[in-house]
Amino acid sequence: MTRADIVAEAQDAGQRLAAARDARRRERAARILAPLVVGLIALAAWDLIVRVNGIPPYILPGPALVLDSLVNDWETLWPSLLVTLEITVLALVVATFGGLLLAVLFTQSKWVELSFFPYAVVLQVTPVIAIAPLILIYVDNVHAALLICAWIVAFFPILSNTTLGLNSADRNLLALYRLYGATRWQTLRYLRLPSAMPYFLAGLRIAGGLALIGAIVAEFAAGSAGTSSGLAYRILESGYRLEIPRMFAALFLISLTGIVIFLMFTLLQHLILRRWHESAAPTDD
């Protein structure tokens, strides 16, 4: 191979690498721009439908009226958003630590998993809206009752995914650890937990949205007024008073909160896994 051939191959490789970088940049831009364009089209269509048909605001307000209500009613909506966020975050924290610890316990003892996992399934398949009234009856503190309802919804994805991840460690590596006399703690720390990390993060991303849903459903069931009212009560209150723009504003805040939670955990998953796991590694094609 001549020197010219080597130079030509190096230039060709550099061009392919630059083309791959450009493709990744275009893909990242498309991930942001495409949803924005669709959202803007949907808002324009919504506003056009309201204006052309002359729909009154107590039936369907336009986007501008919803934005105006969001600004004017911010002093009412902001404290309610903080209440809903507090319940969501606390429920997610409790579900995360409880699900992780219980999954580790399941991995260490098959009998414990066989004995208790079916009851976790029962909690998952039972609609929280059906048991929320009972929890509100038996728990005197409304805030604690709402937290329990949100925890029930968020708990199972973390437990199920983490248990699956811990049990999915490579069997050959497990045999190698046993061959070298590794303790259960060493096997758990250096093999099972790293293997379960992608599963745990996927469960955490699902549980974040479910914790918000559980908090909203529990607030609907509670229907409690006062300074500790969440966004769900604001929706109920707006419906009773036919303040539909405020209802849409509260719905917008709930949706925005769910999107932010999902994006935060997606970013966390990418930052943790990008250097060593195939699911987050960049592709060159």
At CA 284, angle to CA 283 and CA 285, rounded to 5?
Answer: 95
Same domain, 139 and 4: no
Please give the model's pTM, rounded to 2 decimal places. Answer: 0.83
Same domain, 141 and 19: no
Same domain, 77 and 142: yes
Same domain, 5 and 142: no
Same domain, 120 and 239: yes
Same domain, 212 and 159: yes
Same domain, 172 and 201: yes
Same domain, 137 and 8: no
Residue 285 forms part of a structural domain: no
> If the chain, 285 residues long, is cut into consecutive pieces of 10 residues, what is the mean pLDDT of each piece?
62 66 76 85 90 87 90 90 92 92 88 87 84 85 87 91 89 87 86 90 91 89 66 87 90 92 90 73 53
Same domain, 132 and 91: yes
Predicted local confidence at residue 247, as pLDDT? 92
Same domain, 72 and 205: yes
Predicted local confidence at residue 227, as pLDDT? 45
> Which of 98, 77, 73 has its CA nearest to residue 150?
98
Same domain, 246 and 224: yes
How far apart, in whole angstroms, are the C-alpha atoms of residue 142 and residue 67?
31
Residue 137: count of CB within 10 angstroms of its CB? 9
Could you list the residue range(s) of the whole structural domain that residue 28 is in? 1-54
- Look at the chain and report how many structural domains it folds into: 2
As given in the structure block, the two tokens for residue 44 are 């324009």
Burial of 41 (0-12, 13-18, 19+ CB in 10 A): exposed
Same domain, 1 and 116: no
Residue 142 forms part of a structural domain: yes
Final residue of a structural domain among 17, 37, 54: 54
Predicted local confidence at residue 28, as pLDDT? 77
Final residue of a structural domain among 54, 76, 91: 54
